[in-house]
Amino acid sequence: MSAHPLRAATAVVGVADAADPSGMLDGTVTELEARMIREALDDAGLTLADVDGLAINNGAGWAASLEAAERLGLAPRWTDSTQTGGSSFEIHVQHAAAAIALGLAEVVVVVYASTPRSSHKRGGGGFRSRALGGVTPALEWDLPHGLRLPMGAYALAASRHVHEFGTTPEQLASIAVQTREWAAMNPRARLRDPITVEDVLASPVEASPLHKLDCCLVTDGAGAVVLTSAERAADLAKPPVYVLGAGTCHTHASITSMPDLTTTGGVVSGREAFRIAGLGPGDVDVVELYDSFTITVLLALEDLGFCAKGEGGAFVADGPLRPGGALPANTNGGGLAYTHPGQYGIFLLVEAARQLRGEAGDRQVPGAEVAVAHGSGGVLSAMSTVVLGSEATR
């Protein structure tokens, strides 16, 4: 059977991200976007003059790419402003890989920046400043009945998982504990102190059964990745990280319309990404999973096939996600402890690339050759999975 035409046709060749232990960054959103683009291009050994494709999601809607390109002096021949929340950037990579393989672009930059913590400190609305716009399902059905968003939506999924499969708060808490072990090795992480399961359960309940330490941070953050063809990647500054496969699936907008609260579109996105890559969950050395909440991680592990449906609680309780574990996960500290500026998906890609390039320092997973970056957007609404590989996997 011949390889899929998208398998390893493109590569991530430059990455950059910005986070700080204070949770805040200097500069405006547009300044941070420009800085990330410059740093990611420098990492690749490229310049703005090489860029002919731009993918961006900064809340500006249809004008996001237009305004960013104007500021940067670019006239891209390929553009993408897809907005699915935290999974947008995995979708951008999927789209960019297809465009590059078809010759529609040669060098694409994917970028994101947001400063909700700084905005709140300055008297702004932080996340609350994001307009819902018009009559939405959430406004019509969820909020009037007192559902606290977004954590209330995830609490519904967690509660259903508890009901159907006997998952315990202790098992969910173990995800936060293991993630914090990685954050302890990341000097830029917001939260680095070790925690225990008891610490998680003693933290305030935000939406039962989720405690505060089951929930992601609210910080400033920014990041960018640069992609190009496999042929051009071979001559650039850093080892190529090949896009082996990608898949996307969205199943609902409002949590009240989610077909099954214990199963996400990751079943489809993961299956498609692994099919194109010609690999399976057993081939993966490191996973970067969107961790807006601990339940998000547990559902992703099941839906991507790392354990069977309903067995996620027992699976994580054995400690596979921690340093030295069987399935190292969220190796920079994740959205639970590293940074989370509202849409975390760009950081999944950056960390996966660094792991495959052997650049993660104290938190490097030895011999990592295959990584998965799995984004989640909305309220478990839009899933996108990218399988990445080193030269050894090509």
Cα 383 off chain centre by: 10
CA torsion sign for 16, 21, 27, 30 is positive
Residue 209 identity (one-letter amino acid) = P
Residues 6+ apart with CB under 8 A from 97: 6, 9, 10, 227, 243, 246
* Angle, in degrees to the nearest 10, between helices 294-303 and 151-165: 50
Among 270, 340, 344, residue whose Cα is nearest residue 303: 270
Q: Which value, to the nearest 10 degrees, does the dihedral of the CA atoms of residues 375, 247, 59, 20 take?
A: 30
154 a catalytic residue: no
Identity at 106, one-letter amino acid code: E
- What's the chain's length in residues? 394
Q: At what angle do helices 266-277 and 294-303 cross, to 10 degrees?
A: 50
The active-site residue out of 112, 154, 290, 344 is 290
Residue 290 annotated as catalytic: yes
Whether residue 344 contacts residue 86, with contact meaning beta carbons closer than 8 Å, is answered with: yes
By CB atoms closer than 10 A (0-12, 13-18, 19+), residue 376 is buried
Structure tokens of 352? 């996966």
Q: Which amino acid is at 305?
A: G
* Residue of 154, 242, 338, 344 with catalytic role: 338
- Residues 29/114, Cβ–Cβ less than 8 Å: yes
Residue 65's closest CA among 100, 95, 97, 26? 95
Q: Which residues are catalytic?
A: 290, 338
